Every structure is written in C-alpha cells, then in structure tokens.
Structure 1
Amino acid sequence: MEFGVVLQTNPPASRTVDLARQAENHGFDYVWTFDSHLLWQEPFVIYSAILAATRKVVVGPMVTNPATRDWTVLASLFATLNEMYGNRTVCGIGRGDSAVRTLNGRPSNLATLRESIHVIRELANSRSVEHNERTVRFPWSRRSELEVWVAAYGPLALKLTGEVGDAFILQLADPDIAAWMIKAVRDSAEAVGRDPDAVKFCVAAPAYVGDGQSPAERAHMREQCRWFGGMVGNHVADIVARYGTDSAIPKALTDYIRDREGYDYNEHGRAGNSHTTFVPDEIVERFCLLGSPHEHVEKLRALEALGCTQFAAYLQHDNKEETMRLYGERIIPALAEPVVATASA
C-alpha cells in the first residue's frame, strides 16, 4: 500500500512546503492538496515549490474540477511540472464542490467530467486531442506522463470512474461502504472490457494518531475530525436529492445527513467548524482513522484486503506532525511487504 497526505494551502505557503517535506521524510509517497482558489492559496504555484524541495513525492489536487479551471490550462500545468521535475504529478478530479459552490456555481455534469478527463489525460501525456473542433497538442511536451484519478460517490459517477479512471478516490474510510463502491467501480471497468484489477483505489480520510484509550482524548480526536462528515455530507446530499433514500446506496452513507441543515463553505475542511454537529460520533469513527497505531494498522489492513492501493491522510487537525511521525515509524512499516537481507536456500 502507498501512503499520501492531504494538505490545505493555507498561508504561509512555506508551511505547506515544510509539511510536504516532512511527509516525504516520514515515508509518504504522495502529497495532495485541496483545490479551492477562493478559500486557500493557489496550489499549482505551491506544487512547484514542493517538487523543488523534495526528491520523490508525487503531488496533485484532491480534487480539481472541470468548471473553475480550463482543461487545457490544467493539462499544461501538469505537463510543465512534469517537464521540470520528472513526471511527479497526478490529477485528482471530480464534479466540483467548494471551488464552484463558493462562486454560486453548480458541480459539472458527468458528461462534462468525462470529456475533461479525456482532454486533460491526452494533452498531459504528450498526445494530441480533439477539443473545440480542433486538434490540439503541446508542441513542447515530449515525455510527460499523467494519471487521472476520479473522486466519486453516486452510482453513475462510480460507473464513469470504472470506465475511464486510472484510479478511484473514495473520500471516507468505512470498510463496508468502501466494499460496495469498489465493487461498483470494478464491475463498471469489467463491463467495458477494462481489467478491473488495473484500476487503483485510493481511500482518503482524516487520520489522527494518539493513545486512543482515554475517553477525553478520544472525544478530542473526534471533534478535530468531525468536519469531515460535514464535507462528505455535501456530496451525500446531492446523491439523496437525485436517487432518494431507498436506492442501493448503503444506508450508512445516507441516513446520517437527515439532520443536516446547511453548510458554511467559509469553514470548509476546518476543525471545530460550527455546522457539523449533525455528524454523530459513530460516523466520525467509521469515516476516519482514529486512535493508536495498532487501530490504524488494523483498519488499513481491512481496507487493503478490499483492494485499497493507497491511503491518503487528511491532516486538518492539531496533530499533524505527530501523526506523520507515528505513521512513518509505526504504521507505514507495519503495512510494508517484509523484505529480508538474507535467506536460507
């Protein structure tokens, strides 16, 4: 299993770069960031600084969208970074949430998302593509390589992911829900003749590591990560509006938003925000990874058994450095494939 961190690009940018450097030093493979240009600083500028300050980590948005960024500009950003730093970028993309809603916009439809994935992938892999009734290509791009990872929740979005995505980003860490969604993506991939095992699966969720035994400490962990249930609830509300509450979507995903009354994007992704009291403790525990290193390892093993190939830890809480340190010293090594220096014949 690979590991990533998910950061917000809060000022100063040097702090984001420093956290990315720490992540690499602790053994993480990916550094992701939010992508909402009104709420936080511009991530692609900061990616350049992260790539210059690190050696191996791959960087990218979790997630961008087709509505607020021109697709060809996005592809050019990735291809330019790849030319500068050696194919160390990844494109996470979805229909759009905070970046579009803060502008009073609407998430893109799935047809638009599908077309944007095609255009971004072809251009950022140094190939030509048909766009706006023209054949276009970057004449300066020769060996750029880019995977496009699709974030999805609803049935039709999961179907699209299986059909066109290099990977599926699932933004919650509940094994039961993950099993249903991973199966939906794999079934979709197989239906169009793709190898379902070739689609990567990234589970992204808050991770908070501590002792986990004291009730007060456990309650603090939950409060620091409760914001995540509110963020997921935005997407779930869209799904319920479209499909109702009696669809095949797992009840654990839809039932908890019954008391949701609204959402303030000015507090998006922020610990201690004022509009996520509707999220019950059970959902925080199910959607996130909380507690001791042992608890993290056990849950990650369950997700890995379902097909998860990367865990990306959201670090929007008051324990960033210590969580990364314990992942590097205790959790990542426990999930690594054992390798020995010598073995008997």
Structure 2
Amino acid sequence: MEFCIGSCAKIDEVGWARQAEDLGASHFGVGEGPLLFSDPYQYLALAARETSTIKLGTWVTNPLTRIPPVTANSIATLNALAPGRTFLGIGTANNALRSMGHRPATIHELDTALDTTRGLLAGERVTQDWLGQRREIEFLDKQGHWYNLDDPIDVWMSAGGPRGFAVAAKHADYMTYCLGPNPEMIGVVRRELDKAVAEAGRPPGSVKLVALSWFYRLRDGETWEDGIDNGFGSGPISSCITNAGFMNAHVDELGEGIVKASTDAATAYIGDPTAADAPHYLETWAKYLRGLDPVHRPLITKELVDYWCLYGSPDDLLEKTQLMREAGCDMVSVFLSNPFTATRDIADIGSSILARV
C-alpha cells in the first residue's frame, strides 16, 4: 500500500525519513517555509544518502519563492542522488508566503510555472517570461553530469477549487487534498477530480488522489481532547482553511453543519488582518506547526477532529485508513504537525497501520 508521511524540514532529523522507510512507508515529503523550517532540498539530499527505497520530495514548494528553473534544477539534482524515487510537490503556498506577509501564488502563476518546470524536466526547450523579458531556456547539460533528467519525476499538486482541480488534471500525477475519514467529502473531491481529468483529455485514473490527514494514536484512557493536546494540535484548522471555499460550493451535498463549523473555525483562526488590533503576521505564524497553540484550543471541536483527523486506537486507525481508500483515495498520507513528537508518531503509524495492511 502506498502511504506518505510528511513533516517540516528539520535538518538534524533526517532519521525520520529512514525510520519511515524501515516501517514500510512508500513516500516521505518535507514542507517549505523560508522563515519557518530548514531548507527542504538540503534535508532531502541528506535523506537520499540515508535511504534506498522510499520516494522523497517537497511537500510542498511553490512557484514564487523559487522560480521554475531553480525548482527544476533542485529536484533534478535530488533525482541524481535518488534516481527514480524523487517527486515534486508544489502548490500555491500558504505558510511560505503568508509568513512573509505576502499573498500566495495565483492558480495562473502555478499553471504557468508547471508548464515551464515540466518542460525542463522533460529535456525540452521552453519559453519563460521573467523580469519583463521572454526568453528560451533549457537544461544545458545533455550528458547527465550535473542532474538526472532520465528517471521520471512525479508531480504532486496541492490546490483546491475548480481552477485548482483543472490545473492538477492538466499537470499532476498526484493531487494532494486535505481529507479525513469522511466518505461524503472524499466522494465529492474524487468526483470533481475525475471530471477535471476527463475534461483535460487524460485517461481515467491519470491523477491519483492523496488524502492528507492529521494523526494521533490514542493511548489507553485517552480521548479526542488528548489527540489535540498531545498530537495534531491545530492541524484540523488548516484543513478548514484550505477547504472552506470548496465546501461552501458543495454545501448541499456535504451538509450545512460541517460546512459552517469548518468555515467558522477558519475565519476565527485567520481573523481580520485589517483590524486595528490584528496581530502582526510574524506573530501569527511564529507557532505554526510547532504543536498546539493554546489560543487555538477553543476552536478545535470534536466535530472537526472526527472529520479531518486520522486518530484513535490502532484498530480505529486501520479501519479509518481502509475506509478512506474504499471511499476513493488512492493514497493516504499524514503530515506530522509537531516536530517534537514526530519520531513517536512515525512509529505509531508503522505499528498501527503499515505493519497491518
């Protein structure tokens, strides 16, 4: 079974990738945030040297903090260290841009960047508009001395909404979407993705759906509250933020209750940046993916935890994983929202899920 584990890039914790490989995960990805985490490509280069089978990639980079030729070079260089087991995860960016006080990339910018990046990785000469100039570019090493363009590099795309689905259907091999063990939500996303793939003229199943969930294995006597306090923290609110627009567009199918609950949590988390007492964006992001920020604790209800999180006893975790696959997910993934408990959580994923499928 394909299963991906993701984390923030933490340069002194390359052992996470090796641990994930040893326990049977098929993919390991690291996030990018220039002001937040270690550099992902330095992490992945080290991880490539310490692993042999697991696929490694960005989860995710974006088209603004790194222009397409730089992204193409970085991932092709990694592909020289880990031939055939490299993937490029890319999206519009949330934390990477917002933590610097800037907007994320537009869907058009992402689409254009992927046209350039995929063309370069295919060894083509492409045209790039940059700095007000339109120029032809291509990789100049035709012998493979400096990077690897021979082994294929899968593209993973993270973006929601109709335009995001269309770009994923055009470019991606995998589309990552924040999903929990809810068949209705998974079914709607699966249907919309398949529709976009058909409209893009690609064969059915060309784009695999990867569910991104937040994880915690409950110990004896623990409850859902312990999952928040000791595990995924504010993770489910991130799912609310990324899904609010899509859910409101499909409220008739998903139900007004969960759509309103998710929208309200997202709104409360982000707040009004124009308000006079709004916190500075650097303060807002200072505790991102570092465990639970107590300020957010009242926003995370059992309804949201049940909807967005993969949590419970080992039997619960296995059952929910199987449910998600049966509902339409080609791959289940977990992003570890707390680097201080990542080693524990990877071990729990291994014993509760990967060793039992």
- Please give the range of the TM-score, normalised by the shorter of the 2 chains: 0.7 to 0.9
Instruction: Please tell me the residue identity of whatever aligns with 1:309.
Output: D
8 Å contact kept, 1:229–1:279: yes
Indicate the SS of the match to 1:14. coil
Name the structure 2 match of 1:324: 346
Length-normalised TM-score, structure 2: 0.84
- Residue 221, structure 1, aligned to residue 222, structure 2: no
Indicate the SS of the match to 2:73. helix
Name the structure 2 match of 1:8: 8
Residue ranges of structure 1 left out of the alignment (5+ in a row): 336-345
Instruction: Please tell me the residue identity of whatever aligns with 1:138.
Output: F
Q: Structure 2 residue aligned with 1:181, among 170, 180, 189?
A: 189
Change (3 A) 1:270 1:178: farther
How many percent of aligned residue pairs carry the same amino acid?
Answer: 22
Name the structure 2 match of 1:164: 171
C-alpha deviation, 1:313, in angstroms: 1.5
Q: Structure 1 residue aligned with 2:304, among 283, 300, 309?
A: 283
Indicate the SS of the match to 2:32. coil
C-alpha deviation, 1:315, in angstroms: 2.1
Instruction: Please tell me the residue identity of whatever aligns with 1:281.
Output: K
Alignment of 1:1-345 (within 5 A): 1-10=1-10, 13-15=11-13, 17-132=14-129, 133-140=134-141, 141=144, 142-175=149-182, 176-211=184-219, 214=221, 216-223=222-229, 224-236=231-243, 239=245, 250=254, 251=256, 252-259=258-265, 260-263=267-270, 264-276=284-296, 277-317=298-338, 319-335=341-357
Indicate the SS of the match to 2:86. coil
Distance of 2:176 and 2:299 partners within structure 1: 25
8 Å contact kept, 1:236–1:254: no
C-alpha deviation, 1:178, in angstroms: 1.7
State the superposition RMSD in angstroms. Answer: 2.3
Tell me which moved more, 124-133 or 276-285. Answer: 124-133
Distance of 1:234 and 1:30 partners within structure 2: 25
Change (3 A) 1:27 1:91: same
Distance of 1:106 and 1:66 partners within structure 2: 12
Distance of 1:83 and 1:127 partners within structure 2: 18
How far does the alpha carbon of each residue in 1:55-98 deviate from its partner, in whole angstroms, 9 at most, with x for none? 11111122111121111100000111112321322111111111
Change (3 A) 1:134 1:234: same
Distance of 2:110 and 2:97 partners within structure 1: 14
C-alpha deviation, 1:244, in angstroms: 6.2
Count residues with an aligned counterpart: 327
Distance of 2:313 and 2:248 partners within structure 1: 37
Change (3 A) 1:67 1:147: same
Distance of 1:236 and 1:210 partners within structure 2: 26
Change (3 A) 1:136 1:56: same
Change (3 A) 1:102 1:329: closer
Tell me which moved more, 165-174 or 97-106. Answer: 165-174
C-alpha deviation, 1:298, in angstroms: 1.1
8 Å contact kept, 1:20–1:50: yes
C-alpha deviation, 1:249, in angstroms: 7.8
